[in-house]
Amino acid sequence: MREYHITTDEIKAYAPQLAAGDTVYLSGTVYTSRDAAHKRIAALLEKGEPTPYPIAGSVIYYAGPTPTPPGLAIGSCGPTTSGRMDVYTPALLDLGLAAMVGKGPRSKAVCDAIVRNGAVYFCAVGGAGALASKCITSCEVIAFEDLGCESVKKLTFSDFPLTVAIDANGGNLFI
């Protein structure tokens, strides 16, 4: 197993060499999107309307942060179960999504789309949202504010620790 310090802008370039089980300390811009936000993004795409963030080259974190305490950039921000987004994910990957961060296994359709598009699925440690939040230096709601914790947020990661769970070559920690 190898260890990398990379930015979100470098994921596509690093994807061919990342292997399931590798550790990545990720820095850069990441967008939160969960179930309700994915449903709305899919509706926007179906209508040919712009999405809240550019899908191509982006990283999605399946998280719904808690309210931000005074003096901090964000509240607790751990991953949610990724499988709930599987119905939407292949289409996003086909639009150029670079990576996803969450927890748990993915469907065969998502695994195939990861390989087809040279993307990466990272897992973050579940149950450690307060600790994970220490690696997030900024948080801004950018869409669907009415969804509360499930609104789309633009985060800045700083050496956020992740494990490559499904790599661009088909390596998969879950099988």
pLDDT for 132 equals 87
pLDDT for 127 equals 74
Query: For residue 121, what are its two tokens?
Result: 């699925």
What is the distance between the alpha carbons of residues 160 and 5, in angstroms, rounded to a whole number? 9
pLDDT for 53 equals 97
pLDDT for 128 equals 80
CA dihedral defined by 64, 69, 71, 74, rounded to 10 degrees? 0
57-67 b/e with 16+ CB inside 10 Å = b? ebbbbbbbbee
**In order along the chain (175 residues), what is the average pLDDT of each group of 10 residues?**
97 97 98 96 97 98 92 91 97 98 98 98 87 92 95 97 98 96
What is the distance between the alpha carbons of residues 160 and 157, in angstroms, rounded to a whole number? 6
What is the distance between the alpha carbons of residues 21 and 18, in angstroms, rounded to a whole number? 9
CATH number of 3-166: 3.20.130.10
37-53 b/e with 16+ CB inside 10 Å = b? bbebbeeebeeeeebbb
pLDDT for 160 equals 97
